[in-house]
Structure 1
């Protein structure tokens, strides 16, 4: 199972509400999830948010267009361009497929 942002925030909130310290939370998350655990900075930031009374566990909606360049159609098109010309440069691929730099 993948550790999502919402799941990790819920666990951090549970530890916070249990009265444990940030250090104890960090230790528990690392013990349970190893390299997949949220960073110490993230845990400390969320502890601060919870202390200020913010209990929203999901991300706020963001402005702007979502990233949609990575689709199977685009992957196939890039593969075809590379097969046709192995020296094709990224800017040519970008212009041909009308995709962004990211």
Structure 2
């Protein structure tokens, strides 16, 4: 098989899910992923954990939300406040805008 280094974690979990449905053992699944992904392969312990989760009935391949992890939210009121502040103070820093509006200063951009 050709190497596919751009096989994301989510895609690997999906592969694990389907191979688990076919009752393929975790070691075999990990070996298959290693053939496909090379050094970008999830660790064996991670593969084993996901196999266990799928066997217990988990259906989602998405990570569960973790306590303390930053949450992203789009709020039109906050966006309006940010826009208004930046128009009034165009040379302000991200930190100044975040403090004024009361949001986290991290910036997440989607393309």
Q: Which residue of 1 aligns with 2:50?
A: 46
Distance 1:65 1:53 in 2: 25
TM-score of the pair, normalised by structure 2: 0.53
Q: Which residue of 1 aligns with 2:21?
A: 17
TM-score of the pair, normalised by structure 1: 0.57
Q: 1:9·1:57 contact (CA, 8 Å) conserved in 2?
A: yes
Task: Determine which of 55, 58, 68 is the counterpart of 2:59.
Answer: 55
Report the CA distance between 1:64 and its aligned residue.
Answer: 4.2
Q: Which residue of 1 aligns with 2:97?
A: none
Report the CA distance between 1:42 and its aligned residue.
Answer: 0.3
Which is richer in helix? Answer: 1
Extract unaligned runs of 5+ from structure 2. Answer: 71-92, 95-104, 107-111
Distance 2:69 2:35 in 1: 38
SS of alignment partner, residue 55 of structure 1: coil
Report the CA distance between 1:62 and its aligned residue.
Answer: 3.8
Change (3 A) 1:35 1:65: closer
RMSD, aligned α-carbons: 2.6
Distance 2:22 2:58 in 1: 16
Extract unaligned runs of 5+ from structure 1. Answer: 67-72, 75-97
Task: Determine which of 7, 13, 17 is the counterpart of 2:11.
Answer: 7
